[in-house]
């Protein structure tokens, strides 16, 4: 392919590395450069090719790439980087601070329009694929109710909260959906479910030698916002076991929508993900939407978009007539 | 709502009745008229309101409705009705003769452009929702394999084929996916599956008094195309039992996509439907895409579209900022 879509990566944590690894699965794309605050001091996947560039030099790369994939965090990176980079490049990001999305959308929209670019925000699986499934399901069966369950999977925020407790040397937290609650939803019962009824939390904790495990367990289980509203189980294991048995950042979940048509006909829609690597999957979604950003921009569209705005056909590298033949 | 989307129904079989029943779930729509070959001789749901009109009078209704939903069959109705009506109205249909979709698309596209209208073809769940799920999944995890399983559900074509056998007074056929095959797919094994390995078929047959059930069973099991490539089970029951226990035209199925990212990380995507009423669900999908057809047409778009082309946001009656707040 002569005219590959030129991709830049901004931010070289788990997500940026995921985009770097998955770009090879997309023969219509090529990685042009990786931008990071740590600049040229990092080894890149292929020994300096693509180049690792300090993020401050990004403006010099205008016109040299089609889409910049922003892989920074929603808390401290994207609120400023999202609008800044939308002025310079077409962008795709995974901004996921839900309550602040409307304001973030406005900021990116203005910047992208000012810079004559197209930006797709809040891409991934939730927000992301789960969001469009909620939209499809609710639009098709309006007389129904949508439920989202997460897990089994690792919650990074909850794992970090446990690691912050005095006497904890290492920890991981799994969010686990309650099967019985999902079965009630699938049955068409349309239950009202409390936080506690939907998910349980399980922590594996490596405590420091001599630490008071009773106290640690109690601090976890009573931690407000993170654990107090859930049934939480705490297992103490060695640091070696933690590293050996809990290395995968797996995740997933289910969107369930059950409703009624006609006279008492139950109609059930379900979408589920079971992911060995959360960051590599999110990276894969970002790459498919980078293709869409490139195409929409080439059609002359400008400003910010969400996943709701993107026609499915924009995600595929295949020709429309092939898609109709093979997938419709 | 002052400006409701004015809907017409063309064809008053199971699907047309489904659209009639489900339109009430969409407060932004109103049913204007039902068109049928049997004309004004049918009782309509609300005693003559909306009017039942002979299909030959449809051209007189130009300008009086926003979208005509074509509820005829793919074999004998839609090949002519699709293009004819696309000249007169914005249309949505459920054309599902897979091999002929490209030709049908061309015919509807030319007619819609000539008539200055917008038509969305092949809407429902397969082709339809299953098609976009195959597209999303394959675009996001390109190093993977997609499988479609149907059922448990009633296949009308297979039921009719059984009813055509001498000595059969009534019959219904269920297509049943093989759980073990789905489990192999979910495991990430990426198996090659034969037709026989994916689905089994179960028939409930009411035989005429004195009919040779051995012969009937043999004729079913050896019927080419329909049953010969499957493991088929035949149960003989009474006509009363058939009517009592097998009245629901239930259906459903699963789209599974399993692939790999990084170094051996399995990523699983699954979409499933469990439908008490196949025709009411298909009708509900048609109505959501009728909303999209209306909006695309209002934006000035003309010609034929498939489900691949339609941005998810076009399906929802809610405002974009509400959707971002509530569903993203």
Q: What is the pLDDT of residues A69-109, one digit of tens each?
A: 999 999 999 999 999 999 999 999 999 999 999 999 999 99
| DSSP annotation of B72 | S
Token output for B69: 């939903």
Query: Alpha carbon of B290 to those of A101, B77, B281: distances in Å?
Result: 29, 19, 14
**Distance, CA of A221 to chain centre:** 27
Q: Is A306 on the interface with B (CB under 8 A)?
A: yes
The closest CB to that of A277, out of B129, B265, B269, belongs to B265
* H or E element in which residue B75 lies: none
Interface of B with A in 256-275 (CB under 8 A): 261-262, 264-275
The closest CB to that of A265, out of B98, B276, B321, belongs to B276
| Per-residue model confidence (pLDDT) at position A49 | 72
A327 with B102: Cβ contact below 8 A: no
- CA B169 to chain A, closest CA, distance in angstroms equals 27
Which residues of chain B carry a pLDDT beneath 70? Answer: 1-2, 40-48
Which residues of chain A carry a pLDDT beneath 70? Answer: 1-2, 40-48
Residue of A nearest to B187 (CA): A274
| Per-residue model confidence (pLDDT) at position A38 | 82
| Per-residue model confidence (pLDDT) at position A42 | 56
Interface of A with B in 122-161 (CB under 8 A): 122, 127, 129, 131-136, 138-143
A277 with B267: Cβ contact below 8 A: yes
- CA A17 to chain B, closest CA, distance in angstroms equals 10
The closest CB to that of B321, out of A102, A309, A323, belongs to A102
| Per-residue model confidence (pLDDT) at position B96 | 94
| Per-residue model confidence (pLDDT) at position B33 | 95
Q: Please give the backbone phi and psi of residue B167, each rounded to the nearest 5 degrees, phi first.
A: 95, 0
The closest CB to that of B308, out of A277, A281, A313, belongs to A313
B267 with A280: Cβ contact below 8 A: yes
B266, B307, B312, best to mutate vs chain A, most A CBs in 10 Å: B312
- CA B178 to chain A, closest CA, distance in angstroms equals 19
| DSSP annotation of B45 | T
Chain B residues closer than 8 Å to A247 by CB: none
The closest CB to that of B327, out of A135, A309, A315, belongs to A135
Chain A residues closer than 8 Å to B262 by CB: 18, 21-22, 277, 280
Taking the C-alpha atoms of residue B24 and residue A275, their distance in angstroms, rounded to an integer, is 39
Q: pTM for this structure?
A: 0.95
Interface contacts (A, B; CB < 8 Å): 215
Taking the C-alpha atoms of residue A147 and residue B142, their distance in angstroms, rounded to an integer, is 28
Q: Is B24 on the interface with A (CB under 8 A)?
A: no
- CA A60 to chain B, closest CA, distance in angstroms equals 30
Interface of A with B in 208-237 (CB under 8 A): none
Taking the C-alpha atoms of residue A105 and residue A115, their distance in angstroms, rounded to an integer, is 15
| Per-residue model confidence (pLDDT) at position B46 | 47
A312 with B268: Cβ contact below 8 A: no
Token output for B78: 């839609």
Taking alpha carbons only, the member of A69, A20, A26 closest to residue A49 is A20
Taking the C-alpha atoms of residue A156 and residue A173, their distance in angstroms, rounded to an integer, is 7
Chain A residues closer than 8 Å to B312 by CB: 132, 135-136, 139, 307-310
- CA B31 to chain A, closest CA, distance in angstroms equals 16
């Amino acid at each position: 392919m002569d005219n590959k879509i030129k991709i830049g990566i901004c931010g070289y944590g788990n997500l940026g590395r995921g985009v770097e690894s998955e770009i090879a699965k997309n023969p219509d794309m090529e990685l042009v450069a990786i931008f990071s605050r740590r600049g040229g001091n990092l080894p890149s996947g292929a020994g300096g090719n693509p180049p690792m560039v300090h993020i401050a030099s990004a403006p010099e790369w205008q016109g040299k790439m089609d889409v910049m994939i922003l892989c920074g965090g929603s808390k401290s990176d994207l609120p400023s980087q999202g609008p800044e980079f939308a002025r310079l490049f077409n962008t795709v990001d995974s901004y996921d601070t839900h309550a602040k999305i409307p304001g973030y959308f406005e900021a990116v929209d203005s910047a992208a329009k000012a810079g004559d670019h197209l930006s797709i925000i809040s891409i991934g699986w939730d927000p992301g694929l789960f969001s469009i499934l909620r939209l499809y399901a609710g639009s098709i069966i309006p007389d129904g109710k949508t439920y989202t369950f997460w897990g089994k999977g690792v919650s990074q925020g909850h794992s970090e909260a446990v690691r912050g407790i005095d006497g904890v040397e290492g920890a991981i937290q799994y969010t686990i959906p309650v099967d019985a609650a999902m079965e009630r939803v699938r049955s068409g019962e349309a239950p009202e479910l409390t936080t506690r009824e939907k998910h349980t939390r399980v922590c594996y904790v490596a405590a420091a030698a001599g630490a008071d495990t009773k106290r640690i367990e109690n601090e976890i289980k009573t931690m407000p916002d993170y654990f107090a509203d859930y049934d939480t189980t705490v297992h103490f294991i060695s640091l070696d076991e933690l590293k050996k048995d809990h290395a995968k950042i797996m995740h997933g979940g289910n969107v369930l929508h059950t409703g009624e048509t006609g006279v008492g006909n139950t109609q059930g829609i379900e979408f589920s993900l079971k992911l060995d690597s959360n960051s590599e999957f999110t990276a894969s979604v970002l790459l498919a939407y980078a293709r869409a950003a490139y195409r929409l921009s080439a059609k002359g569209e400008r400003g910010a978009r969400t996943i709701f705005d993107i026609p499915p056909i924009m995600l595929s590298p295949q020709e429309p007539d092939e898609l109709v033949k093979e997938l419709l």
